[in-house]
Amino acid sequence: MKRRTGTWRWCVCVALSLSVFSGCAGKPVPATPAVPVPVQTEIPAQPEPAPEVALDVPQRVGLAVPLSDTPLLEMTELVVLHERALERFYAPWSQKKASLPPDEAFWGTAAYGTKQGYAENLRPYPRERWERLVALQDMGAYPSMAAPAIVTRNTALRVLPSNRPFFLDPSLPGEGFPFDYFQNTAIWLGTPVFVSHASRDRAWLYVETAFSSGWIRREDVAMADEAFRSQYRRRAMVALRSDDTPLMDAQRFLGQAHIGAIFPLHSRRGPELAVMVPLRDSDGMARTGLATLSPLQAALMPLPLTSRSVAGLADAMAGQLYGWGGMFENRDCSSTLRDLFLPFGIWLPRNSSQQARQGGTLIELDGMPAEEKLRTIRSRGTPFVSLLWMPGHIGLYLGTNHRGDPLMLHNIWGIRTTTPDGGEGRAVIGMLVISTLRPGEERPDVKQGSFLDRVRGLTILGAGVAVLPD
């Protein structure tokens, strides 16, 4: 026992001595960490689920219909349309005061205040949350601001100042996710706005754009003083040709942009284009950064309006998932068309009925028998510059396939179905597709002709400018 105790004391002394000397000599060099072994991941192979709606059409525009480089509109109209588009784009910076009365600015309070809503957990919307949001709007102080500004990152305009959703009864067809009724629209980086009001907690700003209005997070927008506006407002604009395009200044990330976003041209760098990108400084004011874009990423606006050019931009969005109100920076039917045509210098309103009635010449199809309606579309529709509209939905007429069926490019949630008990359901598509005007009719629960019956109008895009003969 004594020998073991003595050994223990000797070990302690040696250890203490070593620790003292090592302390004097400095900290030991740590051992080089072992290189972590890469984690091998493998997604379990599962059979591809059958689509709920069969689309017997090629899902690339260039494969679905013939293309050409022939201009789709006369140059006279294109010039007028381009000038109008730029005027509308910058219009919020010409405002001096709020253009909306309180009942229009806060329409969501009246529209949804008497409805049973559902929250993100699909349970009834908490009453105390609703009352807090209504109070947060500070409606009695509206309008409390009057300032030009610009969006500095992709964000959303909300009906009430909250990022949390407001669904209607999720048990009903066409309700629940993704139909968040507080989602007004996505709004892209670089969009000029006019700020007319602030929430009570100052975290949200109420803004008007040239195509919509609503609440936006304060950190997503920067105030644009006169010096910035004078520098930024230019006639030479650059349009994006691909989604999820990084905006880089050398090695610095300035933001991400999508088709439908446009930026002022700063300079040319060989085949590349340097564009001005709005940034938000620490004081909440707008300043300018420069990003360089390749010819594959962007082009001078307006792009040539030919079927080949339109098809190229449409195919760059092919298969994009449906985004109600631009949710998740995806697109719905009308935002698809807005973003598709702005690079060509054609300004479209935000919602489907306005696009049909204000985008050009509307040809009424309501009440026509099916065959007459199809004949009218074929004979009077101009492929790639004609919109097919029905209440709540809109798409682009592409022409006809080899069987003479009119084809439509549209971002659609689903097709109405009939349940065995006579109720209504949905066959979900949920993405940008090309279809005939009889989608889903291969299913026994889809009424024949139901989609075509709902088509009410054919709008021929244009400026309404008389073209004089040579």
**Residue 306 β-bridge partners:** 71
Contacts for 49 with CB less than 8 Å, ≥ 6 apart: none
Q: Residue 48 above 90 pLDDT?
A: no
Return the closest-CA partner of residue 125 out of 169, 166, 172.
166
Identify the sign of the CA torsion 203, 208, 209, 212: positive
Distance CA 277, CA 266 (A): 10
One-character DSSP codes across 265-307? EEEEETTEEEEEEEEE-TTSBEEEEEEEE-TTTEEEESPP-BH
- pLDDT tens, residue by residue, 96-144: 999 999 999 999 999 999 999 999 999 999 999 999 999 999 999 999 9
| 128 vs 28 pLDDT, higher one | 128
pLDDT grade for 465, boundaries at 50, 70 and 90: low
- Pairs from 444-449 (Cβ < 8 Å, separation ≥ 24): 445/417, 445/418, 445/419, 446/415, 446/416, 446/417, 446/418, 447/416, 447/418, 449/370
Contacts for 315 with CB less than 8 Å, ≥ 6 apart: 60, 61, 62
How would you label 29-57 residue by residue, b for 16+ Cβ within 10 Å and e otherwise?
eeeeeeeeeeeeeeeeeeeeeeeebeeeb
Give the pLDDT score at 186: 97
Average pLDDT in the 280-306 region?
97
- Which secondary-structure segment (H or E) carries 452? helix 450-454
Distance CA 325, CA 350 (A): 10
Give the pLDDT score at 25: 43
- pLDDT tens, residue by residue, 312-325: 999 999 999 999 99
Whether the CB-CB separation of 376 and 368 falls below 8 Å is answered with yes
Residue-averaged pLDDT of the chain: 91
Distance CA 99, CA 197 (A): 12
- pLDDT tens, residue by residue, 67-89: 999 999 999 999 999 999 999 99
The Cβ of residue 131 has, within 10 Å, a number of other Cβ atoms equal to 11
Fold adopted by 89-224: SH3 type barrels. (2.30.30)
Return the closest-CA partner of residue 206 out of 187, 230, 178, 179.
187
pTM: predicted TM-score of the whole model, two decimal places:
0.88
Contacts for 78 with CB less than 8 Å, ≥ 6 apart: 71, 302, 305, 345
Q: Residue 16 above 60 pLDDT?
A: no
| 323 vs 467 pLDDT, higher one | 323
The three-class DSSP label of residue 200 is coil
- pLDDT tens, residue by residue, 151-187: 999 999 999 999 999 999 999 999 999 999 999 999 9
Q: Where are the domains of the chain?
A: 61-73+305-461, 89-224, 230-301
pLDDT grade for 47, boundaries at 50, 70 and 90: confident
Whether the CB-CB separation of 438 and 52 falls below 8 Å is answered with no
Q: Residue 27 above 90 pLDDT?
A: no
Whether the CB-CB separation of 318 and 243 falls below 8 Å is answered with no
Proportion of the chain above pLDDT 70, given as a percent: 90
> CATH number of the domain at 61-73+305-461, please?
3.90.1720.10
- pLDDT tens, residue by residue, 104-116: 999 999 999 999 9
The three-class DSSP label of residue 17 is helix
Give the pLDDT score at 181: 98
Among 12-21, 127-136, 267-276, name the one with the lowest average pLDDT. Answer: 12-21
Do domains 89-224 and 230-301 share one topology? The answer is yes
Phi-psi region of 422 (alpha: psi -120 to 50; beta: other; left: phi over 0): left
CATH architecture group of domain 230-301 = Roll (2.30)
Distance CA 196, CA 204 (A): 11
Give the pLDDT score at 463: 73
Among 40-54, 155-169, 239-253, 360-374, name the one with the lowest average pLDDT. Answer: 40-54
- pLDDT tens, residue by residue, 391-441: 999 999 999 999 999 999 999 999 999 999 989 999 999 999 999 999 999
Alpha helices in 72-142 (DSSP H): 75-90, 102-105, 107-112, 127-136
- pLDDT tens, residue by residue, 364-391: 999 999 999 999 999 999 999 999 999 9
